[in-house]
């Protein structure tokens, strides 16, 4: 990842030694900064992110109504405005004056989304530096970090966290093409806090089928010796022994499996993060520390 802040130094040169002042004494003048990050594939689709939208409104509804008009950034919305518009419409039910900014690093995708602006919803160019006029309360970034490497993903997490409003959160995740399978991490100013797995249960073979959708910071850690691997192994076991509940439907089986898993893993069992109302949606959330990669705490 290229970090592209181009502020002149005392000689009027930028970080790469290029002159950014015209003549005379050095001037502390910023030239237009290049957004931090890279243009990647723009794949997206209607309702693809409904699982995380639903989760954000349920889990952060209180946060969204708690203070001044909240700013929410949807980073890397892709080739179409749709997922940002859907997030806006869903958040507006919770907080009617919410301001949502769809942010893309690709200027052509920003131009394509502009006609869909409306009061409270805008589309702008930007990257991980989040060029907005005030700190966002929520940053949602889905299917963005997949195409960066693990070290870059951690770096991006750090940059996004540093831009948050007080009490704010980053929701960073990955999902399947049409959103039937998704996982996401939430982070606050201090670091990663939770990991959520969410699946359409019809057609799910076993919980570890979600492994291929793990966020970048975890996907390469699904190997013996890592916590996330042990977690998925134990979840699969709980799913197997809960098979008899399948007679009442896949939801009953998932709930039984999560309850079994909670005997040995720190699964929150009450709202907003846990409890049957969330589990029946094919979700489970655990603290980040339960599955964090070895050596990261
Ligand atoms: C696969 S699309 C995801 C679209 C949408 N979020 C979704 O999940 O359906 C990823 C988008 O992220 C954009 N992107 C990648 N890095 C970015 C960055 N640092 N800042 C802003 N956008 C970025 C890419 O240009 C691409 O359009």
One DSSP character per residue, 247-265 reads GG-HHHHHHHHHHHHTTTS
Alpha-carbon distance 92 to 270, whole Å?
25
The residue to mutate among 4, 103, 105, 180, having the most atoms of ligand 1 within 8 angstroms of its beta carbon, is 105
More confident residue, 248 or 203: 248
Task: Calculate mean pLDDT across residues 235-241.
Answer: 98
Checking if the pLDDT of 32 tops 80, the result is no
CA 244/CA 272 separation, integer angstroms: 28
Nearest CA to ligand 1 atom 20: 127
pLDDT value of position 296? 81
Residues with Cβ within 8 Å of 113's Cβ and at least 6 positions away in sequence, in order, are: 77, 80, 81, 84, 102, 104, 123
pLDDT band at 14 (very low <50, low <70, confident <90, very high): very low
- Please write the tens of the pLDDT for every residue from 53-102: 999 999 999 999 998 999 999 999 999 999 999 999 999 999 999 999 99
Task: Kindly report which listed range (17-26, 107-116, 228-237) carries the lowest average pLDDT score.
Answer: 17-26
What percent of the chain has a predicted confidence (pLDDT) above 90? 87
| pLDDT given for residue 11 in this prediction | 34
pLDDT at 33: 79
- The residue whose C-alpha atom lies closest to atom 22 belonging to ligand 1 is 76
Alpha-carbon distance of 207 to 232, in angstroms, equals 7
> Once rounded to an integer, what is the mean pLDDT over residues 113-141?
98
Tokens standing for 245?
Answer: 């509940």
Kindly report each contact of residues 39-42 with a partner whose C-beta sits within 8 Å and lies 24 or more positions away, as own/partner: 39/105, 39/106, 40/76, 40/144, 40/147, 41/147, 42/78, 42/79, 42/80, 42/106, 42/109
Mean pLDDT of the chain: 90
Q: Residue 182: which of 274, 89, 78, 55 has the closest Cα?
A: 55
Question: What radius of gyration do the chain's Cα atoms show?
Answer: 21
Instruction: Determine the Cα–Cα distance for residues 175 and 136; give it in Å rounded to an integer.
Output: 23
Where are the domains positioned within the chain? 1-34, 42-179, 192-297
Question: Which residues, listed in sequence order, are joined to residue 185 by a DSSP beta bridge?
Answer: 172, 195
Which DSSP category does 116 fall into? Answer: G
Which residue's CA is minimally distant from atom 5 of ligand 1?
Answer: 77
pLDDT digits (tens, 9 = 90+) for 143-184: 999 999 999 999 999 999 999 999 999 999 999 999 999 999
CA distance 58 to 271: 9
Residue 3 has pLDDT above 50, yes or no: no
Residue 253: its pLDDT value, please? 98
**What would be the CATH architecture of the domain defined by 42-179?**
3-Layer(aba) Sandwich (3.40)
- Write the residue with the smallest CA distance to atom 14 of ligand 1: 76
Whether residue 10 has pLDDT greater than 80: no
Q: What is the pLDDT of residue 81?
A: 98
Q: How far is the CA of 73 from the centre of ligand 1 (A)?
A: 12
Give the pLDDT score at 26.
39
Ligand 1 pocket test target in 47, 144, 178 with most atoms within 8 Å of CB:
144
Write the residue with the smallest CA distance to atom 23 of ligand 1: 76
Ligand 1: lining residues by beta carbon, under 6 Å: 35-44, 48-49, 75-78, 83, 103-106, 109, 127-128, 142-144
- For residue 215, pLDDT beyond 90: yes
Atom of ligand 1 nearest to the CA of 175: 8
What average pLDDT score do residues 139-146 get?
97
User: pTM, whole model, 2 decimals?
Assistant: 0.90
φ, ψ dihedrals at 186, nearest 5°: -110, 145
Residue of minimum CA distance from atom 25 in ligand 1: 39
Say what the pLDDT of residue 295 is.
81
pLDDT computed for residue 297 by the predictor: 61
> What residues contact 108, with CB distance under 8 A and at least 6 apart?
none
Are 275 and 269 within 8 A, CB to CB? yes
């Amino acid at each position: 990842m290229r970090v592209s802040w181009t502020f002149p130094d005392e000689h009027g040169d930028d970080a790469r030694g290029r002159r950014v002042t015209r003549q005379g004494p050095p001037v502390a003048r910023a030239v237009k900064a290049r957004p931090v990050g890279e243009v990647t594939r723009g794949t997206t689709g209607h309702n693809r992110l409904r699982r995380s939208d639903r989760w954000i409104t349920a889990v952060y509804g209180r946060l969204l109504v708690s203070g001044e008009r909240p700013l929410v950034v949807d980073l890397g919305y892709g080739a179409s405005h749709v997922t940002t518009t859907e997030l806006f419409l869903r958040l507006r039910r919770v907080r009617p004056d919410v301001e949502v900014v769809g942010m893309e690093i690709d200027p052509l995708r920003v131009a394509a989304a502009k006609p869909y602006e409306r009061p409270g919803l805008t589309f702008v160019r930007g990257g991980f530096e989040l060029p907005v006029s005030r700190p966002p309360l929520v940053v949602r970034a889905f299917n963005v970090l997949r195409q960066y490497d693990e070290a870059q993903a951690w770096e991006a997490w750090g940059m996004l966290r540093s831009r948050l409003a007080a009490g704010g959160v980053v929701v960073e995740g990955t999902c399947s093409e049409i959103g039937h399978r998704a996982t996401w991490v939430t982070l606050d100013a201090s670091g990663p806090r939770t990991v959520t797995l969410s699946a359409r249960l019809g057609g799910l073979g076993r919980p570890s089928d979600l492994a291929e959708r793990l966020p970048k910071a975890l996907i390469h850690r699904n190997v013996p010796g890592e916590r996330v691997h042990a977690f998925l192994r134990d979840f699969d076991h709980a799913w197997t022994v809960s098979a008899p509940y399948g007679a009442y439907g896949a939801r009953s089986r998932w709930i039984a499996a999560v309850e079994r898993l909670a005997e040995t893993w720190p699964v929150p069992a009450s709202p907003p993060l846990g409890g049957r109302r969330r589990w029946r949606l094919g979700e489970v959330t655990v603290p980040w520390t339960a599955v964090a990669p070895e050596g990261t705490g």
